[in-house]
Chain A
Amino acid sequence: MAYKFNFILMVIAPVLVFYLVKYNIWSSIYALNDLSIIKNYTLQEMLNYQAWSMVVAFLGLAYINSKVSEDIRMGRISAFLLYPFDFWKFHTGSFLGFQLTQLTICLFTVFALLMSGLVEWASWIPLLQGIVISLEVGVLWFILMFSIALLSFWMEETWVLRVMLITISQFLSGSIIPIDLYPQWLQSILAYTPFPYLTFVPIKIFMGQGEYGFLSSFFIILFWIIIAFFMLKVIWNKGVKLYTAAGI
């Protein structure tokens, strides 16, 4: 029973609660200011956007691996240094298993959203493209989270950095406010960072808004994955050199 509750609280609840909060915030903003449209977003379109944001969050941004930091700090990484199976392979396997679960949750969520009318149905193609892009974002997010966790080789606590990245991402990725509502100068800067591709671009693909091309987005995210991967390798190699198994 404990494991079932843990699963619901850790995996499903944060994303669901965050969606409900955003739903209420945006509904209130439109109602209190008697607005029918903010830039290009009617209330329905904004709520549509936030619903897809939840779907992207399930697939792309749900993986927060605090276990890596704990394994390093507590010296449990020593066991992985002994196995003929690398530490990063284990956590990658763990991530892939997690994503399989998330895909199931995501599909169920999309079905529930479509049935309830909280999102508008475009067609199968944007849905499948959105899922593929979100899964790709998941890989990028995993690498970023893993890199931060590896800083435990040098730092006592990395959760602060993790929270900082999550918070900054939520604002700059379009998770809370669509990026096209930001000033043009900020949008121009963000275009050269991976942030828009974490949430905003996948949402637009789900919504079938064709100006955010599936193929170009796929390759841009792939580019950021390659950059992040090389950064991860450098951190891992330096970290393992430094590692002294404390507490063995």
Chain B
Amino acid sequence: MIIKCQNLTKRFKRATKEAGLLGTLKSFISPQHTLVEAVKDFSINIDKGEMVGLLGPNGAGKTTLMKMFTGIIAPSDGEVSVLGFEPFKRDIEFRRKISLVMGQKSQLWWDIPAMDSFLLLKAYYEIKEPVFRERLDELALLLDVTDLLTTHVRRLSLGERMKMEMIACLLHQPEVLFLDEPTIGLDVVAQMNIRNFLISYQKQYRTTIILTSHYMADVEALCDRVALILNGQGYFDGPIAKFESLLGRDKFVSIIFSQAPNKLDPIWEKLFPEWSEDSTRVELRISEDNFREIASEVLSKYPVLDFSTDKLPIERVMKSIISKPELVGRS
């Protein structure tokens, strides 16, 4: 077991202040705090070579978990071990074997070319010159950034910068890679490039990868397994296929009409419709049992231009669970 985590809890003391001048004076004389449980009784075990997606809305506790896994902060209660180390002790050997990429925060130095940052990292991780050159050439080629290594980081586009961040975090070939929203803010092509790179890298090196992302496409493309965290607590932990089928074997149907249909028709009531602005397009969730009947009724009643079906996208599953966590219960 690469990562073992049992009843992990993290509490923060958060300062509060009433608005306005009076609030400021009160806070100066007698500061108030609330105790926030960012993570509560979270447990997970991850094996070598797994790719696990940590899903959850903003404020769920995903990043706090990542911080505890990497030793940036210490847990309040519970136990966690990564590669046999207690992360918060920040053993030098532990730090050599892990890496964390933060999509919202660059680790590279802005005012120098990425190559200079890589040379600094080479010194930090004590990577031998021929090994460093070989890895750098391979990674730069895979990510198609060989010509950009001597450009100042501040002059790179966001996608190019993220590729450099990837290189920076993989130069020392970590055994465990933590990715905190690695594709945030990137365009579709750049996201796809990063995903494809991670898939081929992981296949080659069997790195254990833990990923948090708001883009379901990341999770669907990269992860074998998802763990859902809501309000600091674990709600689901299992294969991604099981997560997708969590709400039954519903079909996801997308219909385009030549004319906007009657939105008040009771037929739409139990189908969770999401209408486009001009109401000529709708996305529905139809149970497999009723699919034929409902599909025939819609096709006969309304002028349909296009009708397509797919399995329920993971976003819809997430949305439903977030609004009704009791659908899955605690893991």
A-side interface residues toward B, CB under 8 Å?
A: 3, 75-76, 78-79, 81-85, 243-245, 247-248
B contact set with A: CB distance below 8 Å: 12, 63, 66-67, 70-73, 90, 92, 95-96, 98-100, 102, 104-105, 107, 111, 121, 123-126, 180
Beyond A84-B124, A248-B180, is A75–B105 a contact (Cβ under 8 Å)? yes
Q: Is the beta-carbon distance between B73 and A243 smaller than 8 angstroms?
A: yes
A219 to B331, CA, bound (A): 64
**Max count, chain A CB within 10 A of own CB: residue among B12, B72, B102, B121:** B72
Q: Kindly state the separation between the CA atoms of A245 and B107 in the bound complex, as whole angstroms.
A: 14
Pick the contact of B71: A3, A81, A244 (CB < 8 A): A81
- What 10 pairs across the A-B complex have the smallest Cβ distances? A85-B124, A84-B95, A79-B107, A84-B92, A78-B72, A84-B96, A83-B124, A245-B72, A81-B72, A82-B100
Separation in Å of the A247 CB from the closest CB of chain B?
7
Overall SS of chain B's interface? mixed
Separation of A244 and B38 alpha carbons in the complex (Å): 12
What chain B residues lie within 8 Å of A247 (beta carbons)? Answer: 105
Query: 16 pairs across A/B with beta carbons < 8 Å?
Result: A3-B111, A75-B105, A78-B67, A78-B105, A81-B71, A81-B72, A82-B70, A82-B100, A84-B95, A84-B96, A84-B125, A245-B72, A248-B63, A248-B67, A248-B72, A248-B105
Interface of chain A, main secondary structure: loop
Residues of B within 8 A of A82 (CB): 70-72, 95, 98-100
Q: Please, how many angstroms separate the alpha-carbon atoms of A33 and B96 in the complex?
A: 67
The interface residues of chain A lying within 8 Å CB-to-CB of B121 are: 83
Do the beta carbons of A245 and B95 come within 8 Å of each other? no
B99 cross-chain contacts in A, Cβ below 8 A: 82
In the complex, which of the residues A3, A84, A247 has the most CB atoms of chain B within 10 Å of its own CB atom? A84
Tell me, in angstroms, the Cα distance from A248 to B63 when the chains sit together: 8
**Distance in angstroms between the alpha carbons of A244 and B70 in the assembled complex:** 13
Report the minimal beta-carbon distance from B12 to chain A, rounded to whole angstroms.
Answer: 7
